[in-house]
Each structure stands twice: as C-alpha cells, then as structure tokens.
C-alpha cells in the first residue's frame, strides 16, 4: 500500500479506515457507544484539518490544528478502549494502535 504524501489525503484515508472497521466492533451497549464516539472523532479530524488550511490568520490556523490533534488523541483513546475491552479484534490493526 502506498502512503499518500499529502496530509489531507492521509487524513481521508484514516477516516475511511476507521469507517471500514466500525462494523467489527461488537454490537453491545458499550460497543455501540464507543463506535459512535470513535466515528465522530475520527471523521472530524480531516474536516478540521481542511478548515485549518483555510484559516483566516496564523493564530486561527494554530487553534484549528490544535483541534485536529485533540480529535486524533480522542480517536486513539477510543480505539485503545475498544481493544482493552475486547470489543474488537487486533488482527489487521496498525502497530500504532497496539502500543501501550
């Protein structure tokens, strides 16, 4: 698999990958909650980055990128919780999600 050079493309790919994996989360009460949280945070990353690219000032750009980072961290949190709670299998996950 070729890794895109453009960050915007990479973030689109990240969101798409999360969307593809959401059905793999168990459909329990907790699984549905985590799946919802994960899909919201993971898909907002790219949208917030696109907004940052059209920032009105340097300060606005920095603020919007901080939001991008917060959403990425939240997504990673939900992925790790789902793994720890055995709501999703680890097969096929990127090593970045398996650390800790």
At 36-95, the pLDDT tens digits run: 999 999 999 999 999 999 999 999 999 999 999 999 999 999 999 999 999 987 666 665
Name the CATH code of domain 7-86 (choices 3.40.640.10, 1.20.1250.20, 3.30.1360.10, 1.20.1440.60). Answer: 1.20.1440.60
Taking CA atoms, 69 is separated from 1, 44, 65, 89, in Å, by 25, 11, 6, 26
Q: Output the pLDDT for position 88.
A: 86
In whole angstroms, what separates CA 38 from the centre of its chain? 7
The answer to whether the beta carbons of residues 75 and 18 sit under 8 Å apart is yes
Q: Output the pLDDT for position 1.
A: 41
Give the pTM.
Answer: 0.82
The rounded distance, in Å, linking the Cα atoms of 56 and 19 is 31
Q: Tokens in use for 55?
A: 């920032």
Q: Tokens in use for 48?
A: 């917030």
The rounded distance, in Å, linking the Cα atoms of 76 and 3 is 20
CA-CA-CA-CA torsion sign (1, 39, 46, 78): negative
Q: Tokens in use for 93?
A: 């996950």
């Amino acid at each position: 698999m070729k890794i895109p050079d453009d960050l915007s493309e990479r973030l689109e790919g990240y969101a798409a990958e999360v969307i593809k994996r959401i059905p793999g989360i168990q459909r329990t009460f907790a699984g549905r909650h985590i799946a919802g949280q994960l899909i919201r945070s993971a898909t907002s990353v790219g949208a917030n980055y696109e907004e940052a690219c059209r920032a009105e000032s340097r300060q606005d750009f920095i603020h919007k990128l901080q939001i991008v980072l917060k959403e990425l961290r939240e997504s990673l949190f939900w992925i790790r919780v789902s793994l720890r709670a055995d709501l999703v299998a680890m097969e096929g996950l990127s090593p970045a999600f398996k650390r800790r």
